[in-house]
Amino acid sequence: MVESRPSPVEAVPEVDQALQGLRDLLGADGYRLGYAVRSGRELVVSVVAGPDACAECLVPKQVMEGILTDALQGTEFTVDRLEMPADQA
């Protein structure tokens, strides 16, 4: 899973650039945004809560899916699966 400091082997510069703004916003609220490439151009995206994450600041999963879709416009990548902190509860 590629997080805020991706390794060159797993990182996809096109995806990193597309998600950087969202990564910065989530980071300000105590979350990390990561992804893994699956099936060529499909992504598994994860939002991971840090110890001081603002639970009220995180949008619902359906809204986050829309935000990710918008962020990835202009790339060849799509979100196959989104993992959110509520999924772990």
* CA gap 68, 30 in Å, rounded: 18
Mind listing the pLDDT tens digit for each residue in 37-82?
Answer: 988 899 999 999 999 999 899 999 999 999 999 999 999 999 999 9
Q: How confident is the model at residue 59, as a pLDDT? A: 95
Alpha-carbon distances of 76 from 4, 17, 49, 60, rounded to whole Å: 21, 13, 28, 25
* CA gap 52, 17 in Å, rounded: 26
1: pLDDT confidence band, cut at 50, 70 and 90? low
The pTM score is: 0.85
pLDDT at 4 over 70: no
DSSP 18-87: HHHHHHHHHHHTTEEEEEEEETTTEEEEEEEE-TT--GGGSPPHHHHHHHHHHHTTTSS-EEEEEE-HHH
Q: How confident is the model at residue 8, as a pLDDT? A: 38
